[in-house]
């Protein structure tokens, strides 16, 4: 690594040792709370997946081909997700209930919901989800079941993409196989498949974008392939518009970890920006040209300061509250006046709140955002349902299990921060640390909700495996089609971006 790359790696590592430790403490607190309502089903889930892991370990030792194992993993994950969505008659609620209802209006040619100061004009980033719902409603007889089935496909795809990412990050097929197994049984991605949230569609594209980016930095694809990485990200961004954080992470990686000359760094960054922005601008302006929307998808008739205002509410620890949400009404939805008022309120809160109270606010807000092992999936899947709508009820039989699972993931993530072979010698792992830091900062500033961090919940699967040293944990295992040792020497030739 170069001097600046080494500096950034050590800075992030030192900071994350403290920040991840805070999360672990909060996760432990919730483990204790959920232990009060745990049931025998929590242990059944744990036993079932432990047995699954033992079967996988046996197959690996028997030399079953990697391709066979991955196909089995994907099928296993698919069956789990399909069984889950069939077992629960979930319905769209909250924002997604509103979007599903408006999709019917859209099919009738009613676009008023996207105009003026209506909710979807204030937050036009929700537009594509409404159009997606409308498409499903138009062409499928059972739209809700179809939406959940698409969720299953998207969720299942993350298993294979996780395998691909892990194989490139760690240069180890064995690690990649185990990563895919964890992805198959990872509670948030599994449980959210029954929820009508846009993250289900977005996550595979976010992950695919990261995978293509890694292929380029390892010189396995030419630099112009960054266009495809950015294009994949912008598709995901249309469903969950926080992809700009990934763009910043990519460019930061180029700046700090590339040994290439400035000209090549600029060219690579240009590919990323062009691939991300051009499709977004085209889609946004086509919608305006067709008379569907008035605002750019990334804009809105409500200023961004209102989200920061909600995120700065001391009493609610940055969670949704009606007083801050309705600030526009006080100024007759005047954009400039609302923006100025929101900004002044934020500054006032941050400068006039006693330091000890402000410290408590940021501590609670940060840890609450990352403490739930299911990222709110169980709540959203069961919201507003009757007992007759539920066959497998996870409300009182999976919270403890999912929290213990998440605790294990976070403990491994924390342990990985002490593995110098990874963060100092394997520069690619630092991409995922940058991504986490970016979203951690975003949700520290803006409105907070458990579901918001679900979009990058998959990152922790990768980071957890940074703790496991190949020589110690994977040395003498055999996988057909791979080397007996999981450590594969990183290519010594000059690469485009990797140090």
| Span 241-264, pLDDT tens digits | 999 999 999 999 999 998 888 899
pLDDT grade for 473, boundaries at 50, 70 and 90 = low
pLDDT grade for 475, boundaries at 50, 70 and 90 = low
Q: What are phi and psi of 65, to 5 degrees?
A: -60, 145
Q: Are 185 and 47 in contact (CB under 8 A)?
A: no
Q: Does the residue 239 lie in any domain?
A: no
> Please, what's the b/e burial string for 462-472 (b: 16 or more CB within 10 A of its CB; e: otherwise)?
bbbbbbbebee
Do residues 378 and 355 both lie within one domain?
Answer: no
As a whole number of angstroms, the distance between CA 66 and CA 179 comes to 13
Model pLDDT for residues 421-433, shown as the tens digit of each residue: 887 788 899 999 9
Residue keyed to tokens 């079932």: 48
Do residues 341 and 354 both lie within one domain?
Answer: yes
Identify the pLDDT of residue 487. Answer: 36
Residues 6+ apart with CB under 8 A from 324: 306, 309, 310, 313, 342, 345
Residue keyed to tokens 């846009």: 198
State yes or no: pLDDT of 408 exceeds 70. Answer: yes
Angle at 213 between CA 210 and CA 214, to 5 degrees: 90
Do residues 9 and 77 both lie within one domain?
Answer: yes
Identify the pLDDT of residue 17. Answer: 96
As a whole number of angstroms, the distance between CA 53 and CA 94 comes to 37
Model pLDDT for residues 177-200, shown as the tens digit of each residue: 999 999 999 999 999 999 999 999
Q: Are 311 and 445 in contact (CB under 8 A)?
A: yes
Q: Report which of 134, 202, 150, 67 is spatially closest to residue 481, judged by C-alpha positions.
A: 67
Residues 6+ apart with CB under 8 A from 134: 103, 104, 106, 107
Q: Does the residue 64 lie in any domain?
A: yes
Structure-block tokens of residue 154? 């998207």
> Strand, coil or helix: what is 494?
coil
Identify the pLDDT of residue 453. Answer: 95
**Cα atoms in the 13 Å half-sphere on the side-chain side of 316:** 17
Detail the DSSP E strand segments found in 69-224.
none
Do residues 354 and 381 both lie within one domain?
Answer: no
State yes or no: pLDDT of 489 exceeds 50. Answer: no
Q: Are 180 and 113 in contact (CB under 8 A)?
A: no
Q: Does the residue 244 lie in any domain?
A: no
Name the domain boundary from 315, 339, 371. Answer: 371
Q: CA-CA distances (angstroms) from residue 78 to 64, 84, 176, 224, 460?
A: 21, 10, 18, 34, 21
The proportion of the chain whose per-residue pLDDT surpasses 90, expressed as a percent, equals 83
State yes or no: pLDDT of 362 exceeds 50. Answer: yes
> Strand, coil or helix: what is 194?
helix
As a whole number of angstroms, the distance between CA 486 and CA 328 comes to 57
Do residues 333 and 196 both lie within one domain?
Answer: no
Identify the pLDDT of residue 337. Answer: 94
Do residues 306 and 387 both lie within one domain?
Answer: no
Q: Report which of 38, 34, 19 is spatially closest to residue 373, judged by C-alpha positions.
A: 34
Do residues 64 and 94 both lie within one domain?
Answer: yes
Min mean pLDDT across 314-328, 366-380, 450-464, 484-498 is at 484-498
Summarize the confidence of residues 443-465 as an average pLDDT.
95
Name the domain boundary from 352, 371, 390. Answer: 371
Q: Does the residue 223 lie in any domain?
A: no
Identify the pLDDT of residue 80. Answer: 97
Q: Report which of 278, 239, 331, 290 is spatially closest to residue 115, judged by C-alpha positions.
A: 290
Structure-block tokens of residue 213? 């980016």
Model pLDDT for residues 21-38, shown as the tens digit of each residue: 999 999 999 999 999 988
Do residues 8 and 105 both lie within one domain?
Answer: yes
Do residues 403 and 466 both lie within one domain?
Answer: yes
Name the domain boundary from 345, 371, 397. Answer: 371
State yes or no: pLDDT of 285 exceeds 70. Answer: yes
Q: Does the residue 115 lie in any domain?
A: yes
Do residues 337 and 386 both lie within one domain?
Answer: no
Q: Does the residue 452 lie in any domain?
A: yes
Identify the pLDDT of residue 371. Answer: 96
| Range list of H helices, 35-93 | 40-61, 66-87
As a whole number of angstroms, the distance between CA 139 and CA 143 comes to 8
As a whole number of angstroms, the distance between CA 226 and CA 269 comes to 9
State yes or no: pLDDT of 76 exceeds 80. Answer: yes
Q: Does the residue 497 lie in any domain?
A: no
Number of domains in the chain: 2
Model pLDDT for residues 112-169, shown as the tens digit of each residue: 999 998 999 999 999 999 999 999 999 999 999 999 999 999 999 999 999 999 999 9
Give the chain's mean pLDDT: 91
Q: Does the residue 349 lie in any domain?
A: yes
Identify the pLDDT of residue 5. Answer: 82
Do residues 347 and 361 both lie within one domain?
Answer: yes
Residue 197 sits in which domain range? 3-207+373-473
Identify the pLDDT of residue 420. Answer: 83
> Strand, coil or helix: what is 260?
coil
> Strand, coil or helix: what is 390?
strand
Residues 6+ apart with CB under 8 A from 59: 69, 72
Do residues 420 and 319 both lie within one domain?
Answer: no
290 burial via Cβ count (<10 Å: 0-12, 13-18, 19+): exposed
pTM of the entire predicted model: 0.92
């Amino acid at each position: 690594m170069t001097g600046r790359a080494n500096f950034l790696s050590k800075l992030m590592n030192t900071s994350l040792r403290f920040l991840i430790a805070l999360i672990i403490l909060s996760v432990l607190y919730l483990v204790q709370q959920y232990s009060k309502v745990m049931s025998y089903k929590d242990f059944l889930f744990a036993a079932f997946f432990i047995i699954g892991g033992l079967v996988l370990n046996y197959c690996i030792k028997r030399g079953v081909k990697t391709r066979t194992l991955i196909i089995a993993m994907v099928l296993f994950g698919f069956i789990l997700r399909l069984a889950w969505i069939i077992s629960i008659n979930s319905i769209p609620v909250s924002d997604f209930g509103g979007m599903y209802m408006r999709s019917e209006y859209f099919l009738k040619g009613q676009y008023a919901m996207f105009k003026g100061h209506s909710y979807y004009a204030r937050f036009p980033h929700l537009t594509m989800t409404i159009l997606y719902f409308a498409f499903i409603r138009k062409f499928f007889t059972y739209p809700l079941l179809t939406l959940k089935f698409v969720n299953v496909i998207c969720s299942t795809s993350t298993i294979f993409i996780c395998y691909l990412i892990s194989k490139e990050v760690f240069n180890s097929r064995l690690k990649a196989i185990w990563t895919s197994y964890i992805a198959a049984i990872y509670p948030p991605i599994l449980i959210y498949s029954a929820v009508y949230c846009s993250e289900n569609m977005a996550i595979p594209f976010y992950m695919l974008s990261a995978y293509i980016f890694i292929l380029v930095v390892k010189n396995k694809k030419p630099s112009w392939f960054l266009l495809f990485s950015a294009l994949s990200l912008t598709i995901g961004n249309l469903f969950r518009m926080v992809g700009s954080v990934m763009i910043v992470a990519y460019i930061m990686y180029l700046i700090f970890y590339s040994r290439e000359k400035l000209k090549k760094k600029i060219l690579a960054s240009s590919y990323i920006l062009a691939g991300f922005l051009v499709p977004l601008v085209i889609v946004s302006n086509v919608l305006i040209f067709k008379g569907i929307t008035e605002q750019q998808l990334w804009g809105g008739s409500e200023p961004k300061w209102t989200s920061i205002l909600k995120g700065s509410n001391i009493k609610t620890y940055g969670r949704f509250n009606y007083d801050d949400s309705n600030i526009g009404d006080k100024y007759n939805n005047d954009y400039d006046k609302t923006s100025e008022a929101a900004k002044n309120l934020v500054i006032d809160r941050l400068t006039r709140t006693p330091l000890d109270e402000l410290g408590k606010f940021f501590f609670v807000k940060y840890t609450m955002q990352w403490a739930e092992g299911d990222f709110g999936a169980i709540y959203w899947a069961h919201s507003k349902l009757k007992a007759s709508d539920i066959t497998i009820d996870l409300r009182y039989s999976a919270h403890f299990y999912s929290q213990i699972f998440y605790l294990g993931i976070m403990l491994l993530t924390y342990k990985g921060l002490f593995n110098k072979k990874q963060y100092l010698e394997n520069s690619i792992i630092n991409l995922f640390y940058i991504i986490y830091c970016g979203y951690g900062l975003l949700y520290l500033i803006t409105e907070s909700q458990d579901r918001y961090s679900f979009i990058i919940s998959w990152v922790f699967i990768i980071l957890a495996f940074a703790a496991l040293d190949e020589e110690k944990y994977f040395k003498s295992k055999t996988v057909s089609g791979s080397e007996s040792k999981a450590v594969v020497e990183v290519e010594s030739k000059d690469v485009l971006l990797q140090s």
